Structure 1
Amino acid sequence: MHSRSARIHETGCETVPEHEPNVPRVMWRLLEPLHAVTYFAPEARAASDAVGMRGFWMGYFATRAAPLGPVGPDVVTAAFHGFPPAKVSRALPDAWTFATPGDVLRARLDGAKAALRNLLTDEVAGPDDLRAAADLAWRAARLADTAGRVLSAANQALPAPDEPHLLLWQAATTLREHRGDGHVAALVAHGVSPTQAHLLKVAAGETDLDLLRVARPWPDEEWQSGAAALRERGWVDASGALTAEGTRVRARIERLTDEAAAGPWRALGDERTSVLARLLRPLTEAVVKAGIPPTLSPIGLPAGSENGRELSLPAFPSKIG
């Protein structure tokens, strides 16, 4: 674990060395763009449309929820946490009248395969490196403890694709849903509603409010109620900026999210996790340089440069904590 001789700071959960890179967060930043082709790559949208999805959002909700089976809007709203029920209800259950969950699962693999084949060329990484990255990522995904994590469990239960591009994508998807399930649990434990969670991300400078109000179109009164609740808790000031208390609480939520996401990397081990990080870097850089995810997106993935098209990560740590 971490050396206690390092200078430390208080997150509200525990003291951690200030200079140590955060392994679960580094791995998230490496894997999230690879998963995100399913939302932002034109090949993925084309595959979704081809099986009958009506527009981006029906495709989004159906492809992300398909591992759960033909579930309705209440289940998806609860599992995804961030979306207003009315938006989910416009996509589900209607999506299942156009295509079965099995059809949608095949479509999302078709879209991911087409996108990643175009992006992860031999010039980016040779076949041996791509296979090694896919095998290590899949091993980590299979080692993830999914108790209480419905979305990650549903993805983990899917069969392993044969092609390395798809194996890597399915592993990245399982691991990001594993992290997301843990993040939702941390938010719920702190009594943070979906709109409050969005507003905290805006206050932290991770995403844009106008963008969120379009992508997560809660009614105005819900946004206003969320903002009022954050002010009453002393987490944001009148301008919507984080207060010292808000900074502390949000750091604690993020720390709990990282801790909950650390299990697969502890199980994979320091050496193999470091090898995977090295193998993933050029793959992720290629996806990021292609504009996936966009510089401004609801994901809130930290950008490494002003234009958001370079991947900037700290040196990978020797130990996982």
Structure 2
Amino acid sequence: MDATFAREIWKIIEPLHAVTYFAEECRTANREAGLKGFWMGYFGSRAAPLGPVSAGTVEATFFGFHPARVRRAVPDAWAFASPESILRLRGAAAARALRRAFPGIEGVAVTAAPLLHEVVTAADGAGRPLFAANRDLPVPEDPVEALWQATTALREHRGDGHVALLTGEGLNGLEANVLASAVGVVPAERLQESRGWSPEEWAEAVDAFTRRGLMADGRATEKGRALKARIEQSTDELAAPPYDVLDDPTAVYESLFPAARALGDEIPYPNPIGVPRAG
């Protein structure tokens, strides 16, 4: 499969996954599990497949978040809710959100979930801890929950590869966010606030990029845009091979597209993830 398809299907599977962050059903499930506040819910729910890991593990695998933001939630999260109890609730809550937002999701899931599960099974977990942890979870019997779980595993597969490329370019989590904002993916204020970086830290990174010729007047230079484009292209290339198992990848894309488009009111645009609105 080529890199272009990998990017296009990411734009479709990412919104299906992302209800877990934005839908009220999912936030309620985190509270019911015992997690306190949005950020403990976010870190605890997303990290649960890894087990009761340390803050350092979350910092390394999630990437881009200020260490202090992570450490206010982890490892305290595991004192309020075990990973096992979180996992019992998070997929079911996402399935409820998907059914509410797109009533036709049931028929889509019956067909698409097994196919995406084949893609997950075909993907290599080496060097991809978040993907591997999600891949090893049991496949839910509920087709909509199974669809959500497959999209979650695949977006983490892509994300793990992306993090490897960012670190390979010598970028830390703050710099990765600054670069994304500099090329116009997400407004700087949105990324700075959501990832927990102070104005002073952000300004220091901008100054460092300016000295390196990656930014000028707060925007990416040609050199900065080329760096970002190279990382994105390589991310797409690394994400593409598992989709080779699909006999008709276009049909899978087209079956998921209406559901992703229906989620336009569930997910804010622009968002810190950087995924555009479907269509």
Superposed pair shares fold, TM > 0.5: yes
What is the distance in 1 between the residues matched to 2:276 and 2:98? 22
Aligned twin of 1:206: 185
Q: Is the 8 A contact 1:48 1:111 kept in 2?
A: no
| Cα shift readout 1:181-227 (whole Å, capped 9, x = no counterpart) | 00001100001121111111111111111112211112334212211
RMSD: 1.5
Aligned ranges 1:142-221 → 2 under 5 Å: 142-221=121-200
Aligned twin of 1:13: none
Aligned twin of 1:247: 225
Distance apart, 1:292 and its partner CA: 2.8
Distance apart, 1:125 and its partner CA: 5.0
Aligned twin of 2:274: 300
What is the distance in 2 between the residues matched to 1:137 and 1:179? 14
What is the distance in 1 between the residues matched to 2:33 and 2:96? 15
Q: Is the 8 A contact 1:193 1:226 kept in 2?
A: no
Aligned twin of 1:57: 39
Aligned twin of 1:67: 49
- Of stretches 218-227 and 144-153 in structure 1, the one that deviates more from structure 2 is 218-227
| Residue type of the alignment partner of 2:99 | R
| Cα shift readout 1:41-62 (whole Å, capped 9, x = no counterpart) | 0000011101111111100000
Q: Is the 8 A contact 2:181 2:187 kept in 1?
A: yes
| Cα shift readout 1:274-296 (whole Å, capped 9, x = no counterpart) | 121011111111222xx232113
Higher helix residue share = 2
1:282 aligns with 2:258: yes
Q: 1:35 aligns with which of 8, 17, 38?
A: 17
| Residue type of the alignment partner of 2:66 | P
| Cα shift readout 1:72-127 (whole Å, capped 9, x = no counterpart) | 11110011111011111111111111111000111211211211121231xx3562
Q: What secondary structure does 1:265 align onto?
A: helix
What is the distance in 2 between the residues matched to 1:229 and 1:183? 22
| Cα shift readout 1:19-55 (whole Å, capped 9, x = no counterpart) | xx81110010010000001000000001110111111
Count the aligned residue pairs. 279
Aligned ranges 1:234-273 → 2 under 5 Å: 234-237=213-216, 239-266=217-244, 268-269=245-246, 271-273=247-249
Q: 5+ unaligned residues in a row in structure 2: which ranges?
A: none
Relative to structure 1, the CA distance from residue 125 to residue 39 in structure 2 (aligned partners, 3 Å threshold; closer, same or farther) is closer
Q: Is the 8 A contact 2:95 2:144 kept in 1?
A: yes
What is the distance in 2 between the residues matched to 1:125 and 1:220? 42
What is the distance in 1 between the residues matched to 2:105 and 2:44? 32
Aligned twin of 1:101: 83
What is the distance in 1 between the residues matched to 2:56 and 2:196? 17
TM-score normalised according to structure 1 size: 0.83
Distance apart, 1:156 and its partner CA: 0.3
1:139 aligns with 2:118: yes
Moved over 4 A (4+): none
TM-score normalised according to structure 2 size: 0.96
Identity of aligned residues (%): 44
| Residue type of the alignment partner of 1:292 | E
Aligned ranges 1:106-145 → 2 under 5 Å: 106-121=88-103, 124=104, 127=107, 129-145=108-124
- Return the index of the structure with the highest Cα Rg: 1
- Of stretches 174-183 and 257-266 in structure 1, the one that deviates more from structure 2 is 257-266
1:81 aligns with 2:59: no
What is the distance in 1 between the residues matched to 2:105 and 2:188? 37
Distance apart, 1:130 and its partner CA: 2.5
